[in-house]
Amino acid sequence: LKYNPNGSLAYEVVRPATKDVIPLVRGALDSGGNWVITTTATSGGTRADIYTFFVAPDGTVPWYRLWNDTFNGNDYGAGAAIDAAGNIVAVGSGFAPGLGTDFKVIRYQRLTLTSASPTVIGGSNLSFTIGLNSRPTFATAFSLTDTSNNTVVPATSTVPTTATSINFTMTTTPV
């Protein structure tokens, strides 16, 4: 919930209805007025997982991510922060059978998507760049999807650990 200075409700953000939230929510505010919120949620009989939500100043949720360890143990979100480079950091703990509970730090890098041109004529190609604000620790793969069904984009692109950006081309359908 966000309230205006006069106490009236500015907006209410409702989480996806398929999850049961465990009542511990922590957040951080970036310089652009965006909230990053980390919590713990379960889904119909599965174990607890760490959820990180990105909430824009108008109350929309452009993205949220689930983090579940490889052992599918109980994972608990304990906090969120934004580092100096603008990366989003969620912290918490997780339990792995036979190993016990350990500390988790999950870093989500911000990325930019830029186009070589603001417009394109049907039947032409358009180049894009996906950029990260720092080199990834692991090769970072992106799924690319055209929701208009009028272009062709590669199914995936990967930023290697030796780079901070990649280029790809979108091919449009002739008009």
Report the pLDDT value the prediction gives residue 16, as an integer from 0 to 100: 57
Report the pLDDT value the prediction gives residue 158, as an integer from 0 to 100: 82
pLDDT range class, residue 173, cuts 50, 70, 90: confident
Report the pLDDT value the prediction gives residue 5, as an integer from 0 to 100: 92
- Residue 147 CA neighbour count, 13 Å, CB half: 0
pLDDT at 101 over 70: yes
Identity of the amino acid at 145? T
Report the pLDDT value the prediction gives residue 81, as an integer from 0 to 100: 92
SS3 annotation, 108-164 = ECCEEEEECCCCCCCCCEEEEEEEECCCCCCCEEEECCCCCCCEECCCEEEECCCCC
Angle, CA of 141, 147 and 149, to the nearest 5°: 115
Report the pLDDT value the prediction gives residue 9, as an integer from 0 to 100: 92
Report the pLDDT value the prediction gives residue 2, as an integer from 0 to 100: 84
Q: Which residues pair with 63 in a beta bridge?
A: 54
- Tens-place pLDDT, residues 21-70: 666 778 898 888 888 989 888 765 668 888 898 888 988 888 888 888 77
Report the pLDDT value the prediction gives residue 45, as an integer from 0 to 100: 60
Q: What is the mean pLDDT of the chain?
A: 81
- pLDDT higher for 15 or 155? 155
pLDDT at 109 over 60: yes
Rounded Cα–Cα distance for residues 1 and 8 (Å) = 10
- pLDDT higher for 112 or 66? 66
The residue among 127, 172, 167 whose CA lies nearest residue 148 is 172
- Tens-place pLDDT, residues 132-168: 877 777 777 777 777 676 777 777 778 888 888 888 8
Identity of the amino acid at 24? L
pLDDT at 18 over 70: no
The pairing of strands 20-29 and 35-42 is: antiparallel
Report the pLDDT value the prediction gives residue 44, as an integer from 0 to 100: 59
CB atoms within 10 A of CB 121: 10
How many residues belong to the chain?
175
- What are the structure tokens assigned to 131, written together? 């950029």
Query: What is the arrangement of strands in the sheet containing 151-152, beginning at the earlier edge strand?
Result: 111-115, 125-132, 165-172, 151-152
Q: What is the DSSP letter of 57?
A: T
Rg (C-alpha) for the chain, rounded Å, is 19
